[in-house]
Amino acid sequence: MNSGYKFTRRQVYSALKNYFGYDEFRDGQADIVREILKGRDLFTVMPTGGGKSLCYQLPSILLDGVTVVISPLISLMKDQVDSANANGIGAAFLNSSIDFDEQRATVSDVINGKVSLLYVAPERISSPGFINLLGSLKIALFAIDEAHCISQWGHDFRPDYMEISTVTSMFPHAPVASFTATATRKVQDDIIDRLVLREPFISRHSFDRPNLFIETRPKKSVVKQLIHEVEVRKNQPGIIYRTTRKDVEKTALELTAHNIKCVPYHAGLIKEEREKNQDLFNNDKVDVVVATIAFGMGIDKSNIRYVLHGDLPKNIEGYYQEIGRAGRDGERAECIMFYGRGDISRIKYFLDQMENSKERSFQLKALYKMYDLAESNDCRRKSILNYFDEEYTVKNCGNCDVCSGTLKRTAKKKLEKVKAENSDKSSSFDVKSYDSALFEELRSVRLLIARSSKVPPFVVFSDATLIDMAIKKPATPNEFLNIKGVGVIKYKKYGTIFLKVIKEFQ
């Protein structure tokens, strides 16, 4: 593996500020970046929204050579590449969504040193032509995203991921950094073994997402329940998950009939329609996507304010991954699951079709654990974290239906006890106060810039960055550079425009 890379603290933090707009790393990021820059293999569990992409994007700026990111999220690659390019990083992707001429142009850019960050789909690793291309390059790092896909015990095992294990033998001098948002200890050990990681640095971070309010409710008339929850969150971006394509279509039609801007998303739609619907959602042209789990791993939109489940998920890993799409900007978001015992029968029917009895038994146990979570009168956050082998010692999280006292089916005695404890809110999420009128003005300007640049609005600036502007109201370039998420690159692109908007608003 590569060794001997030496970077000063000043070099690392200058890159962090100039390219990403942050003065400090988030929890755990500094250690991960340090070990990658040393040339060490790495296994990381970091929750969705924890900033894992920065952990390999920042090294790609500093390291000599190409950082190759292997990811199954083809529908997400363009957004990730757009975001990296907007930050001033030379990025590109190769996957089946682009035609031969585009692929040839991208390969040419890679060979000519214009690309330092290359995203590829896992099936590329089994292509002799692509391996020959990599062999002609200096590879700085392999970053494997969604690494749980390689584990037979993960919730999203994909056979084409098995080829990735060959990179350590084919490119022995390149470090391999694997990332996932959901992995029990069993899945972790399986990933390390299958990827043949060499004495990896292991970094497990808290699965806790304190900005997510988590709630479960029994089904009554679930479509009506879903419509109500969307209507009380008017004009806010949200995702609704349904188990079957039929339920997705039915729910989307009902929402549309109630004048709610929404689109369906499932594997039964033709590719062009799926892409169009995702773009409409990413670009704030519709408020809601009604989807099967086919949409679960294909979204990088940072300002999703709620995730609703119209059915019981198959397992806690999948559920955690799906609610993780909410509140990636760190702002408050809500996650409500509607469930019933009929969901178990429906999922069990599909599990019974599995030929592998060991796998069927494993999945069935996972299903019942999911139902236990939905039915439990214990803190939802604690139950989820315990599942991932993380001890949660806070008596009252203050941000789930149990701890906030909103659980309607709890026995009266239990409910009174919860309310009595509700004064202990040491980990509850603090909602910021900001000028909402200025925020909407900044949002409108961001949308115009995004549409003229043909990128999603969150690629320009996240909602969290706009909120910071609406709180601090910067008036000078230096003040604008102190807004979180504003680096030198983005200031040069957008700073004058946004400073003018803020000044005129004042």
Q: Are residues 269 and 301 in the same domain?
A: yes
Residue 426 lies in a domain: no
The pLDDT, as a whole number, for residue 267 is 87
The pLDDT, as a whole number, for residue 420 is 45
Quick: pLDDT tens for 247-289: 999 999 999 999 999 999 998 999 889 889 988 998 899 999 9
Tokens of 382: 């604690």
Other beta carbons within 10 angstroms of residue 355's beta carbon come to 6
Q: Is 259 buried (19+), middle (13-18) or exposed (0-12) by CB count in 10 A?
A: exposed
Q: Specify the pTM.
A: 0.77
Q: Which of 159, 177, 204 is the last residue of a domain?
A: 204
The pLDDT, as a whole number, for residue 425 is 40
Domain span at 200: 9-204
Cα gap 351→306, rounded to integer Å:
29
Residue 3 lies in a domain: no
Residue 349 lies in a domain: yes
Q: Please provide residue 255's backbone torsions phi and psi, each rounded to the nearest 5 degrees.
A: -65, -45
Which residue ranges in the chain fall short of pLDDT 50? 410-429
- CATH number for the domain spanning 450: value is 1.10.150.80
Q: Which of 204, 234, 256 is the last residue of a domain?
A: 204
Between strands 238-241 and 262-265, the pairing is: unpaired
The pLDDT, as a whole number, for residue 297 is 53
Q: Are residues 245 and 97 in the same domain?
A: no
Q: Are residues 273 and 343 in the same domain?
A: yes
Q: Which of 156, 176, 204 is the last residue of a domain?
A: 204
Q: Are residues 151 and 193 in the same domain?
A: yes
Q: Are residues 189 and 265 in the same domain?
A: no
- CATH number for the domain spanning 362: value is 3.40.50.300
Query: What is the tally of structural domains in the chain?
Result: 3
Q: Are residues 290 and 391 in the same domain?
A: yes
